[in-house]
Amino acid sequence: MLVGTIGYYALIFSLFFSISILFLIIFDVKNNKEEINNKIFSFSLLQLIAIFVSFTCLIFSFIQSDFSLITVYENSHTDKPLFYKIAGVWGNHEGSLLLWIIVLILFSYLFLILSKKDSKDYRLYTIFFQNLIIVGFIFFSLLTSNPFLEVIPRPNQGLGLNPILQDPALVIHPPTLYIGYVSSSIFFSSSLSAMINNCVNSYWAKSIKLWVFISWIFLTLGILLGSIWAYYELGWGGFWFWDPVENVSLMPWLASTALLHSIVILEKRGIFHSWTLILAITTFSLSMVGTFLVRSGILNSVHTFANDPSRGLYILIFLVSLSVLSVFIFFLYKPPETKDKIFNFFSKETSLLINNWFMVFILLTVLIGTIYPIFLEVINNHKISVGPPFYNIIIIPFIIPILIIMTIGPNFSWIKNDLLEYTKSFFYLIGLGLIVSLLVFYLTENLNVISLLVIIAALILIFSTIRDIIIYFKTLKFEKEIPKLGQLVSHIGFGLLVLSIALNSNLSKEMNANLKVGENVNFENFIVTFKSLSGKKEKNYNAIVGNFVIENPKKKIFLLNPEIRIYSQPTTMTSEASIKTNFFSDLYITMSYMPKNNYYNVRFQHKPFMLWIWISAILISLGGILSIVLRRI
C-alpha cells in the first residue's frame, strides 16, 4: 500500500505544480524580460517527474498484485502473465486516464523546451492553455477516477482482466492511440495562443505542423492496431464495423488530416487562417467528445469503460467550458483573411481546399451517425443503431472525387496554372484510366458501378503517384522538392487502402456450418475438414483446439487451429480465430461449441487483400514520418 500512497501524493504534487505554472505564467506575461522565467521550466520538469512517479507506482502495484487498490483488484489477478498485468494498468478507466494526463504533461514540456525560436508571449499562452487542460483532467482523476483508492479489508485475490483485452495488441494499442488523441491538445492550445498574440501566419503554420504530424501519425497507427486486434480477436473477421467507439477515433483523424492540408495552404500562400484555426480546435474537441462518449456510459461497446454518470457529467461540463472558451477567443481575436491574395480554381490550394470539404463532409456524416442515436434515445427513449449500410451509402460515392483530386492536385502549382502545360499529363491520365477500366472489368465480376469506379479511381491514383515519384528522381526535382516524397507515399498508401478495402468487401466469401469431428464441407471449391480436437493449457486460460485441414481450389493444403478458450478470472469463454495469411488473401476460421450432439459451429472465410489493408495504413503513416524527417521542421 506504501507504493499506492506515493503514487497518490505524486498525483497531488503534479496538480500543485500545474496550478503553480498557471500563476507563474500570469506574472511572467506582465514581465518585460525577453526570456521566460526559469521557474516555469523547473516547475514543468517537476510536474513531469511527479506524474511519471505516480504512473510508475500504479504499474508497480499491478506487477506486485497489490489488491489493496480498487483499480488493481478489479483489473488484475495473480495468475495473469506479467505482460497482461502491465496491460491492465491502462485497460481500465482510472489507469487510462492517468496515461492521458501523462501525455498532456509530456507534450506541454516538449513544446516548452522545443519552441525556443518562438516569441515569449506565444509560448507562455500556449503552456497556459495546456495547463488549464491538465489541471482539469487531474481534478477529474482525483475527484471521480482516483486510481489509488483503497479496498478495506484487502482482498487476497483480484477479479481479473477482461479476457478480450488479454492480447499483445492491446498492450500497445491504447498508448499509441492516446498519444494521437491527447497530443492534439498542444496545437489546440497553440491556436488559442496564436490568436491572442496575433501571430496566425505562415511562420506559425510551419512551426505547428510538426505537432500536427506527430498527432496524426500516432492516431493512424493507433487505429491500425485497433483494426488488426478487432480482426483476429473478436472472431467476426472484420477490421471495421462502424462501431460508435471506432468512430470516436476516426473523427479526430479526419479532422487532423484536413488540418494538415489546410496548414500547407496557410504556410505556402498565407490564406485560410480561420479555416486552419477551426480545424485545429475541432480536432482536439472531437478527442474530448470521444472521451465523453467512452467514459460516460452512454455507449455500450466492448471498447468502453464502466458506466458512471458523475464522470460523464464532469467531462461534459469540462468539454463545454473548453468549447465556449475557444469560440470566445476565436470571435474576439480571429485574424482577418488576406484579401489581396490571388485565388484561381485550377491551383494546388483549390484542390487541397476541395479535398478538405469532402473530408469534413465525411467527418460530419460519421459524427451524425454516432451522435444521432444517442439524442434520439434521450428525446423519446427509442433505441436505433446506425450501421455500415448508412455510412457506405453516403460516404463511398464521395471517395471517388477525393481520389481524383488526390491524383491531379499535387501536380498543380500554387496560385494558378496554364492548363496547356498539363495537356500531356491529362492525356496520360485519360489513357491510364481507360487501361485500368478495361483491366478491372476483365478481372472482376458482379461488382456494382460504384465499387468499380472506386477501384478504378484508386488504381489511377496509385499508378499516377508512382509515376510522379519516378519523375522526381529522374529529373532531379526530387532534390529540390524533397519534402513532397512524404506526401506521395501517403497518397499511394491511401489509394492502396481504398483499393484493398473495395476488393476485400466485394470478393470476400463466408461459410457457416455445424460440423462434428471427422466431417467436411465443400465451399466455393474449398474443402474444409474437421480433423480432430486437442487441448492446451496456459497460465491464464485452458483451450480446446480444433484441427482443421483446408484444401483450396488449387489443391494446396493448409492447417488451421482455431481455439475455444476458457478463462477462469473472470470466468469467460471466447472463440479465437486461426488465420493463414499470404500475399493476396487470408484464410480465416473460428469455431464455437454447440451443446447438442457434439457439434461445433464453424465459420470459414476467404478474405482477399487483407495483408494490403495493413500495409497501406503503414504506408500512410510512413508518409507522415518522411514529411517530418525530410522537412527538418
Going across the sheet that includes 509-515, the strands are: 509-515, 600-608, 585-593, 578-581
Per-residue burial over 108-131, b = 16 or more CB atoms within 10 Å of its CB, e = otherwise: bbbbbeebeebebbbbbbbbbbbb
What are the DSSP calls for 428-465, one per residue? HHHHHHHHHHHHHHHH--S--HHHHHHHHHHHHHHHHH
Q: Are residues 145 and 39 in the same domain?
A: yes
Q: Are residues 4 and 106 in the same domain?
A: yes
Within a domain: residue 382? no
Q: Are residues 453 and 528 in the same domain?
A: no
Q: Could you read off the pLDDT of 335-349 as tens digits, one per residue?
A: 876 655 556 666 788
Q: Are residues 555 and 605 in the same domain?
A: yes
* Distance, CA of 292 to CA of 592 (rounded, Å): 35
Q: Are residues 549 and 592 in the same domain?
A: yes
Q: Which helix (H) or strand (E) holds 534?
A: strand 526-537
* Distance, CA of 204 to CA of 276 (rounded, Å): 11
Q: Are residues 74 and 132 in the same domain?
A: yes
pLDDT for residue 413: 67
The residues pairing with 510 across neighbouring beta strands, listed in sequence order, are 605
Residue 198 contacts residue 231 (beta carbons within 8 Å): no
Burial of 610 (0-12, 13-18, 19+ CB in 10 A): buried
Q: Are residues 495 and 522 in the same domain?
A: no
Q: Are residues 117 and 188 in the same domain?
A: no
pLDDT for residue 414: 65
Range of the domain at 418: 388-505
pLDDT for residue 633: 45
Burial of 217 (0-12, 13-18, 19+ CB in 10 A): buried
Cα angle for residues 180, 184, 189 (degrees, 5° grid): 160
pTM of the shown model? 0.92
The residues pairing with 546 across neighbouring beta strands, listed in sequence order, are 533
Q: Are residues 482 and 522 in the same domain?
A: no
Q: Provide CB contacts within 8 A for 51, sequence distance 6+.
A: 10, 11, 14, 98, 101, 102, 105
pLDDT for residue 481: 59
Q: Are residues 142 and 174 in the same domain?
A: no
Q: Which residues of the chain have pLDDT under 50?
A: 302-303, 633
- Total tally of structural domains belonging to the chain: 4
Within a domain: residue 617? no
